Amino acid sequence: MSKEIFTIRNKEITKVFEETTRQYLVGNLGRPQELNHFQDDKLEIGITSYKELNCEAPHYHTQAYEYQYIISGETEYIDIETGKEYSFYAGDFYVTPPGIRYAQRSKPGTTIFFIKSPPGDDKVVIEPSKEIKAWMKKVNGS
């Protein structure tokens, strides 16, 4: 571990979201990132920021817990197995445990700070049912 304080300035972070919706700041990452990030094999930390309406592909994680803090905006989840819906707003903190199968949609202006542990690409994408597709389309106003 480095013996100096590693910094990524707000100006750099803000600029990167002109081109992307997700940026990892910490982790032992397999995919290229726009910003330099702090190497760490214990966890992953990042930010998602949506200027426009956005819907994540339905998925689940086999091992990772994702701890999330809503900086701004609003995001909604639906548990694919139970149909239960969750809404989170600026200032809310929540966790998605491994194994929960969900779809997520976020309103414009939503920014989420997240921590993922353990790290690694354990995401499994799920083919959505007709009902989940309809729920997802609501984000696009369709």
**pLDDT in 10s for each residue of the chain, 142 residues:** 568 898 999 999 999 999 999 999 999 988 888 888 888 999 999 999 999 999 989 999 999 999 999 999 999 999 999 999 999 999 999 999 999 999 999 999 999 999 999 999 899 999 999 999 999 988 544 4
Q: What's the CA dihedral at 55, 57, 61, 62 to 10 degrees?
A: 170
Q: Where are the domains of the chain?
A: 10-140
Nearest to 59 by CA among 121, 4, 104, 11: 104
pTM of the model: 0.91
* Residues 6 or more apart in contact with residue 85 via CB below 8 angstroms: 76, 77, 78, 79
CATH number given to 10-140: 2.60.120.10
